[in-house]
Amino acid sequence: MSSARRCSKTACGRPAVMTLTYVYADQTAVVGPLALHAEPHAYDLCEFHSERLSAPRGWEVLRLAADPSLAGPSSDDLLALADAVREAARPLPPREPAITRPAEHGMRETSRRGHLRALSSD
């Protein structure tokens, strides 16, 4: 099975390019750019069916045009990626040494878990 999404119309095998959703409260059918993920209450449509869509009587069809500049990564996306790589490659500052206390009344540290320590007497 192909990973490309197909038109939801019966017997149509063309690739989907638009997504149809219904806003029942506003009596509106919205046809917009193909959604990132297939959703159970949205319908993927090919170009042919998305152009010829009609809504029930009294409903409005709202068509959202796909913005071609959003198709690929923008310069902001590339700059953010470069900044993230630079930040990850930056060396960590040296850690301050842990504060050591002299042995208190013949006690010695036997184990440590986080900020807690177990002491035993000699």
- CB atoms inside a 10 Å sphere around CB 18: 22
Confirm if 22 and 16 have CB atoms less than 8 A apart: no
Please list, in sequence order, all residues whose beta carbon lies within 8 angstroms of the beta carbon of residue 70, skipping any fewer than 6 positions away: 33
Question: Running along the chain, 122 residues long, what does each successive block of 10 average in pLDDT?
Answer: 79 93 92 88 92 91 74 72 83 69 66 82 70
Strand partners, 21: 30
How much is the pLDDT for 1? 45
Q: Report phi then psi at 60, rounded to 5.
A: -110, 145
3-class SS shares of the chain: helix, strand, coil, % to 5: 20, 30, 50
How much is the pLDDT for 105? 64
How much is the pLDDT for 8? 92
Summarised one tens digit per residue, pLDDT across range 51-85 is 999 888 999 999 987 665 555 666 777 788 888 88
**Distance between alpha carbon 101 and the CA centroid of its chain, in Å?**
48
How much is the pLDDT for 16? 93
pTM for the model: 0.52
**Ranges assigned E (strand) in the chain:** 18-23, 28-33, 43-45, 60-63, 107-113, 116-121
